[in-house]
Chain A
Amino acid sequence: MTVAAGTKTQAEPSRWQKMWKSISIVFESRVATVGLIMVLFWLIVGLVSLVWTPYDPNASDFAQNLPPNTTNWLGTDHLGRDIVSRLMTGTQVILLKTRLPGDSNISIPIGVAIWGVLGSLALGALLGLNAGYRSGWADQGIMQVLDALIAFPRIVLYLVVIAALGRGDLVVIFAIAITGAPGVARLARSLAMDIRTRDYIRAAETRGENVWFIMFREILPNARGPLLVDAMLRVGYAIFAIGTLGFLGIGLPPPDPDWGNMVNEARRNIFANPLAVVWPALAISTLVIGLNLFADGLSEELSRYQR
């Protein structure tokens, strides 16, 4: 039986204090803090690159395949472009902006990876909550469809989507959302099935609340934790996905640099410039590892106080 924290008459903590308190959970875990630092590093790099990069990422200003030196800190690629600048700019499309189709140069904020994950969250939560709460035929139906989706190898799915819809940032977002949804749905379903047994859901039902209200206003807020942690992991997968697509050459269209693409191109020139392949690969792995650590540490902390 829980005991309340006593009826002390002190001032209610301010909103900043409350926010700090929920964020500071992160710092309780060393793992999560390290992860956070790694992610923040790339975020900052990306933000900086919006206004400044050492050189123009798309300009072939330098000699090709140079090793790291004082002008080009990480060297140049096979077309003589500065790798550092390309790396920095590569962050943008993943994390920071999405280019809209068509010739206009408009971009909407938040990168492709993140939009993709949000998409898979939304779709997956929708399907999973329905399956978990309604159960019975709805459950069976939805899960069978999702199982079928999972059965496809991811890359095949990507290829299908891109072949059908063409290339472009929005298409990649769509592809990521579709491939990520079944996993999220599974998680959401099991959470819904657990939460469904609680008395407050019963109480909502006795009020005659409709099904959508119960799913999204009663169940979802309590499923937030595990779903968000899972989502962070998925950003990592999404970055991999973008990298893979780039590697296969069907990812984000040029000329903006994209880490996966960079790895692909550098791979072809690996004998001429061995290091050029390392840098983008390192970039991908550090960002993904950072996200993983962050998610890991966070979930450990959250579950420490699990009710």
Chain B
Amino acid sequence: MAELGSSTAPPVLKLDQVAVAYKIRGGEIEAVQDVSFEIYRGETHGIVGESGCGKSTVAWAVLNFLGANGYVKRGNIKFQGQELVGVTGEELRRLRGDQIAMVYQDPMQALNPSMRLGDQLTEVLTVHRGMDNKEAEKRCIEMLERVYMPDPANVMKRYPHQISGGQQQRVVIAMALLNNPALLIMDEPTTALDVTVEAAVLDLIAELRRDFDTAIMYISHNLGVVARVSTRVGVMYAGEMVERATVEQIYKKPSHPYTQGLIRCVPKLGADKAGSVLYPIRGRVPPPANRPAGCIFGPRCDYVRERCREERPGLRQLPHGSWVRCHFAEEIDAAQWTPTEDILPPSLEAREVPAEPILEVKDLKKYYEVAGSSLKDVVGLGEKRYVKAVENASFVLNKGKTLGVVGESGCGKSTLIKTLIGLEDTTDGEAKFLGFDITNDISDRDTKLIQELQMVFQNPDSTMNPSYTVGQQIGRPMQRFKTVPKNQIRDEVIKLLQAMRLGANYYERLPRQLSGGEKQRVGIARALASRPDLVLCDEPVSALDVSVQAAILNLLLEVQQEFDTTLIFIAHDLSVVRFFSDDVAVMYLGQIMEIGPADAIYAPPYHPYTEALLSAVPVPDPTVEQKHIRLAGTVPSAIDPPSGCRFHTRCPRRNMLPEDGKICEEEVPPWRYATDEHRIFCHIPVETLQKFEPVVTTGE
């Protein structure tokens, strides 16, 4: 298409200094203070920010979903040249049905669980376009094919709960596109999905944008995902848009200190271990009631000056095209930045530690029995079925090391941890901790043993008991295990709090007064209170914002060095475990597929699953070249796992073996040893595996 015509097209959506406020008891809160941006036809505009920055509020304001107490206080929102603020009734309904569509994070919010998918999809067409049912059905099946839904005719007859999360999201996207809207708003549509499924959905979104020429507003807190789908990006902080630029500019030359800080917090795959150090942003997001008078980011900024404290900057354009909300943006050079004392991560040099195994696991199996529903099963005569959650896990963990376990949902990593800590008992296999057998349930274990093996949990909101103060909760393990005499407990707790970089005044606080990051720190303190030898961390940072994640990860590193603890760290994201794990294990459907030193995992030879995982992780760096390997199908059920190698149903490398990988279906693969410590569970010989190209290369 010629360049002649496109520059004069008006933007599909234009926000101009929009402010959104919510009325609450005794006043109002401005959730969004000043947001301006525009989206043109065929463009994807990403909106990035951490929790509480107001990005979802912006989306709802566009659609007038603010609820009874929200309203657009200032500014105007123009859709296709027409003012949206204040549109109600019939016209709003028509706009929402015909021209603007929204996709949410949780597909179950958009799908009615009691209606068949076919009915829901055709409803969009029959109600808005007055189509007849047959015609509408045909259209819907066509659209489902467009979104690469396997077996669309069958899917139409099913209910939402009968298809997987990734498929549900595809259906929602299909529904949104059925009426060919001019604007599509996507609010974190892939956050709830596994990495490999997310990658496939992101590919789909890119393709659809091309075909339908829709303007897309893509909201996410994940910088990598936004980098992959957007052409332009807006960064929001505490209700304001602080930077707006093209994708390349944002990631290569961020102008606002907050953006620069964010980029430094995001784990990167491309660099080597040393280059993937994370630097958190000090301080915390100010609550809406307490925003500073000057620049909102001022208190956390490395470059803050007098003017920043007094005068709030406006959004202005820099010579190279970005828009920045900063007084001194031209003078800030991200390349010259050095970390200050308080956010300096601990050194990563390998300490000379004698290799002393403290955890030895051999052929660990955990099967859950599936309660049958037929009469035979109730009586006990039916054939027993098992969910084979963990199958033959074997590894050795040395003292002072960190093992990262990575896998998608359903791979058995949480079950593995629960079995080790005793919340579940093992079905078969051996596990020895400090020489003691830990295949039994926790109620059978000795108190001294329990003391040495503790856990950090995933969800910061539910990890603390809401009825007790921080001090009481950290003190409880000390009390129980009698590690410290009663009168010294308080001092010990305060010492721990300080090690967590929390002040002594946190002792009296209740959990509801803490932020997510602080709660997680208390959770870690509680786990460490009894000075355990081994701490199991179940995705401790997945529920936290990126900048807080970085701080917690650094804290864990520090803690490990100071207290000489061994860690097992579970994550679903390969990039997160990279910089601080010594060893990494990759799990799939209950099986460990690859395990070895961290550096070895991220370079060939790879297990085909590791390769697919690495190519699916969204990398927030446009200069990085990433291979494009997508897994077909979905994760099979663990009740009837595939025979032989469990990955054979989806393995993209099957064809490297004779007869299209027949051996993968028939025989359990052997362990291939790339080095003494790095082994891969695959039929393909190591020499062939070594020939794979690296998935991620920095194109410089």
Contacts and interface: CB of A to CB of B under 8 A. Distances in A.
Direct contact of A and B (CB under 8 A): yes
A206 B287 contact: no
A222 B467 contact: yes
B423 A203 contact: no
Contacts of A255: none
A198 B462 CA distance: 6
A259 B111 CA distance: 56
Contacts of A3: 52, 284-285, 287, 515
B480 A2 contact: no
Given A4-B515, A206-B422, A207-B450, A221 B287 contact: no
Contacts of A209: 480
A202 interface: yes
B284 A200 contact: no
Interface in A189-205: 198-200, 202-203, 205
A200 B463 contact: yes
Nearest to B466: A222
B613 interface: no
A22 interface: no
Contacts of A4: 284, 509, 513-515, 518
Nearest to A12: B508
B601 interface: no
Name A's interface SS: loop
Interface in B453-495: 453-455, 457-459, 461-468, 473, 476-477, 480-481
B512 A2 contact: yes
Given A1-B51, A2-B514, A3-B515, A203 B463 contact: yes
Contact of B458 (A1, A199, A307): A199
Interface in A1-22: 1-7, 12
Given A2-B515, A2-B516, A3-B285, A205 B52 contact: no
A91 B447 CA distance: 54
B512 A307 contact: yes
A218 interface: yes
Contacts of B508: 12
B366 interface: no
Nearest to B548: A1
A102 interface: no
A218 B463 CA distance: 12
Nearest to B285: A3
B465 A206 contact: no
Contacts, number: 83
B467 A199 contact: no
Contact of B443 (A2, A6, A208, A222): A208
A203 B52 contact: no
A3 B514 CA distance: 6
B262 interface: no
A200 B465 contact: yes
A4 B510 CA distance: 10
B421 interface: yes
B106 interface: no
A1 B442 contact: no
Contacts of B445: 208
A198 B512 CA distance: 15
> How many A residues touch the partner, as a band?
20 to 34
Contact of B459 (A5, A12, A199, A218): A199
B458 A208 contact: no
Contacts of A12: 508
A218 B52 CA distance: 30
Nearest to B459: A199
A222 B476 CA distance: 17
Q: Which of B52, B423, B467, B512 is most buried by chain A, counting CB atoms within 10 A of its CB?
A: B467
Interface in A260-307: 307
A7 B468 CA distance: 20
Contacts of B454: 206-207
Interface in B499-522: 503, 505, 508-509, 512-516, 518
Interface range on chain B (Cβ under 8 Å from partner): 35 or more
A273 B513 CA distance: 61
A2 B545 CA distance: 12
A284 to B, nearest CB: 36
B290 interface: yes
Nearest to B421: A206
A224 B467 CA distance: 10
Determine which residue in B51, B52, B465 has the highest number of CB atoms from chain A within 10 A of its CB, and name it: B465
B401 interface: no
B446 to A, nearest CB: 9
B287 A6 contact: yes
Contacts of A199: 457-459, 462-463
B529 to A, nearest CB: 10
Contacts of B450: 206-208
A213 to B, nearest CB: 9
A218 B466 CA distance: 9
A200 B462 contact: yes
B447 A222 contact: no
Interface in A146-181: none
B572 interface: no
A198 B473 CA distance: 15
B607 interface: no
Contacts of A207: 450, 454, 476-477, 480-481
A222 B465 contact: yes
Contacts of B509: 4
B531 interface: no
Interface string B507-544: 01100111110100001001000000000000000000
A202 B464 CA distance: 10
A224 B466 CA distance: 12
B85 to A, nearest CB: 28
Interface in B58-84: none
Contact of B526 (A203, A222, A307): A203
Contacts of A203: 455, 457, 463, 523, 526
A2 B518 CA distance: 10
A222 to B, nearest CB: 5
Contacts of A200: 462-465, 473
Contacts of B526: 203
Contact of A7 (B458, B459, B462, B505): B505
Contacts of B466: 222, 307
Contacts of B453: 206
Contacts of B442: 205-206, 208
A199 B422 CA distance: 15
Contacts of B284: 3-4
A207 B421 CA distance: 10
Closest 9 CB pairs of A and B: A221-B467, A199-B457, A208-B450, A198-B462, A1-B516, A200-B465, A199-B462, A199-B463, A1-B51
19 contacts: A1-B52, A1-B461, A1-B515, A2-B461, A2-B516, A4-B514, A6-B290, A7-B503, A200-B463, A202-B423, A203-B523, A206-B442, A206-B454, A208-B445, A208-B450, A221-B465, A221-B468, A224-B467, A307-B461
Interface of A: 1-7, 12, 198-200, 202-203, 205-209, 218, 221-222, 224, 307
